[in-house]
Chain A
Amino acid sequence: MGDALPLFVPAVPFALVIGLAVVESGINPFAGWSTSWLIFGGAAQLTLISLLGSGAAVAAAVSAALVVNSRHLMYSAALAPTFQRQTAWFRWVGPYLLIDQLFALSSLEQHAEEQDFRTYYLAAGLTFWVLWLLTTAVGLAIGPVVPESWGLEFAVPLLFLGLIVVGVDKSSKVAAALVGAGVTYLTAGLPNRSGLLVGAAVGILAGTVLERTRR
């Protein structure tokens, strides 16, 4: 828990923005908040909620959210050897909690004893989970109180921009982001916001091609 709390601090505005986005999008508040325990992954939740609220087709919003969360495949593969030594129930429960922060923490503990790893993983994971559910609920509660003129809907793209800027650590990732943005802009008129998926796909392709030509 001691390790989990400092890592939750940066997640606080994220959770609050999700609550606000639910209010903004006009979707059912309980359904919006439920993404916190159904999905338990901020970027995908915010993707789904903001796209449903901006008039995207449900299929496009769901696909985009799934693509956002496909990065978890990397975490699953990286932790698989450690989980092989664990009891069956933990192999089923553990992945549900596997968010970015928990991956970062637990990958440092891979050489711990079975029991120690399990205790550490569950304590950190459940701490995040409880705080996440509470904080998104707080965002939902304060959303209707905030005046429209504050333009809080702008906090969503601003937060995404922050995630991009902090996450790009090499030029091929910058290229993936710029191409993704550019192609999405060019295809923004496509029905049901499907241009987003085209832009994302071309962006991923651009980053991949750049990375491979450089080797």
Chain B
Amino acid sequence: MTAFLAGVVVGIGTYLSRSIFILALARRRIPDPVLVSLQFVAPAVLAALVVALLTNEDGSVAIGAPEVAAFATGGGVAYKTRNHILTLVVGMGVLWIARAMV
């Protein structure tokens, strides 16, 4: 129930962010400083999320060498190919091989 309600709240917030200029503020522009900041939302939040997912709740690191290897390889593949499917396949492949070796 809590999870569903959380989805409702985020859903409403998302609709508002997608609709506010179209429905209400069509003649307004986003102030330039805000526009500059908005482009950094995705990289900053996603990077913060990655770290949050790879650490325990007490702040200790939750991963070992296989995960680091998979992460480095996946990052390299993403950079070279810009292909998310390939990134996942190669990254997970390296993870399984490295875990089998450790």
- Taking the closest CB of chain A, its distance from the CB of B96, in whole angstroms, is 7
B44 touches A64 (CB 8 A): no
Measured between alpha carbons, how far is A185 from B56 in the docked complex, in Å? 10
Measured between alpha carbons, how far is A159 from B39 in the docked complex, in Å? 19
Q: Does A157 have its Cβ within 8 Å of any Cβ on chain B?
A: yes
Measured between alpha carbons, how far is A203 from B85 in the docked complex, in Å? 27
A158 touches B37 (CB 8 A): no
Measured between alpha carbons, how far is A134 from B1 in the docked complex, in Å? 22
Measured between alpha carbons, how far is A208 from B54 in the docked complex, in Å? 26
Proximity string of chain A (68-86) to chain B, C-beta cutoff 8 Å, 1 when within and 0 when not: 1111111111011101100
Q: Does A122 have its Cβ within 8 Å of any Cβ on chain B?
A: no
Contact of A157 among B6, B30, B50 (CB under 8 A): B50
A39 touches B14 (CB 8 A): yes
A165 touches B75 (CB 8 A): yes
A75 touches B18 (CB 8 A): yes
Q: Does B101 have its Cβ within 8 Å of any Cβ on chain A?
A: no
Q: Does A136 have its Cβ within 8 Å of any Cβ on chain B?
A: no
A156 touches B53 (CB 8 A): yes
Measured between alpha carbons, how far is A202 from B43 in the docked complex, in Å? 12
A162 touches B47 (CB 8 A): no
Residues in A whose Cβ lies below 8 Å from that of B4: 28, 30-31, 34
A177 touches B11 (CB 8 A): no
Measured between alpha carbons, how far is A193 from B54 in the docked complex, in Å? 12
* Residue picked from B26, B84, B88, most chain A C-beta under 10 Å: B84
Given contacts A58-B2, A161-B78, A173-B39, A200 and B20 within 8 Å (CB-CB): no
* Size category, B interface: 35 or more
A44 touches B14 (CB 8 A): yes
A71 touches B11 (CB 8 A): no
Q: Does B52 have its Cβ within 8 Å of any Cβ on chain A?
A: yes
Proximity string of chain B (1-36) to chain A, C-beta cutoff 8 Å, 1 when within and 0 when not: 111101111110111011111110110011001011
B47 touches A77 (CB 8 A): no
Q: Does B102 have its Cβ within 8 Å of any Cβ on chain A?
A: no
18 A–B contacts, CB within 8 A, in A order: A13-B84, A14-B84, A39-B7, A52-B6, A65-B10, A70-B38, A157-B53, A162-B75, A163-B42, A164-B46, A164-B47, A165-B78, A176-B44, A187-B59, A188-B52, A195-B52, A200-B45, A212-B36
Q: Which residues of A contact B (CB under 8 A)?
A: 9-10, 12-14, 17, 27-28, 30-32, 34-35, 38-41, 43-44, 47-52, 54-56, 58, 61-62, 64-77, 79-81, 83-84, 91-92, 94-96, 98, 150-152, 154-168, 172-174, 176-181, 183-185, 187-190, 193, 195-197, 199-204, 206-208, 211-212
